């Protein structure tokens, strides 16, 4: 049988008791420190948040926004104006004739009305939204008309589109002029 040393056992118990007392003291110190921070930082954080909300609400007012913009030497917000009626959309179509010989008998019609004839191998026609460009020959002979334009907002007729006119009296049409909305 082993004899237990009562001195060693008491020291161990004392050490454990002191350790729990020390850890309790450390916990209490940290708790007191965190309470001090909470007492200071929580009102500061709430104050910053409420100030942010107030400033955002104030800058939504047009007069305050203009004042702030003027002081910052930056962009000054302009009051939005109601949208005005859209300007009429128009484009210039450049028409090229092939074979490259003038054809005064070949008429160019816009919405059924004669606009011009191919006195030269190329000509220009102004079109508006919905206009239909048509071609009518009065003499036999094949002809090709190619379309070109530099209007970024014109969808149809497309650049490079070609129509063939073969028989006299027959009207050949390009698609109606359509613009990007």
- Those residues whose C-beta lies under 8 Å from the C-beta of residue 106, and which sit 6 or more positions away, are 97, 117, 118, 135, 136, 137, 143, 145, 165
Q: Is the pLDDT of residue 49 over 90?
A: yes
The residue written with tokens 């191919």 in the block is 118
The pTM of this model reads 0.49
- Give the pLDDT band of residue 12 (cuts 50, 70, 90): low
Greatest alpha-carbon span in the chain: 135
pLDDT digits (tens, 9 = 90+) for 101-145: 888 888 889 888 888 888 888 888 988 888 898 988 888 888 888
What is residue 45's predicted lDDT score, i.e. its pLDDT?
92
Lowest-pLDDT range of 22-31, 82-91, 115-124, 137-146: 82-91
pLDDT digits (tens, 9 = 90+) for 157-170: 888 888 888 888 88
Question: How much is the mean pLDDT over the chain?
Answer: 80
What length does the chain have?
A: 181
What is residue 2's predicted lDDT score, i.e. its pLDDT?
57
- Over range 32-53, report the average pLDDT: 90
């Amino acid at each position: 049988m082993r004899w237990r040393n009562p001195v060693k056992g008491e020291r161990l118990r004392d050490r454990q008791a002191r350790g729990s007392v020390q850890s309790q003291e450390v916990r209490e110190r940290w708790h007191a420190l965190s309470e001090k921070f909470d007492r200071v930082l929580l009102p500061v954080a709430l104050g910053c948040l409420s100030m942010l909300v107030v400033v955002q609400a104030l800058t939504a007012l047009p007069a305050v926004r203009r004042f702030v913009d003027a002081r910052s030497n930056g962009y000054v917000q302009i009051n939005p104006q109601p949208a005005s009626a859209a300007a009429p959309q128009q484009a210039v179509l450049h028409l090229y004739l092939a074979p490259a010989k003038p054809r005064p008998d070949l008429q160019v019609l816009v919405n059924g009305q004669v606009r011009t004839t191919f006195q030269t191998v190329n000509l220009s026609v102004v079109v508006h939204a919905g206009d239909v460009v048509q071609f009518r020959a009065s003499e036999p002979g094949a002809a090709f008309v190619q379309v070109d334009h530099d209007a970024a907002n014109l969808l149809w007729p497309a650049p490079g589109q070609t129509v063939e006119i073969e028989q006299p009296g027959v009207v050949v049409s390009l698609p109606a002029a359509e613009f990007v909305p």
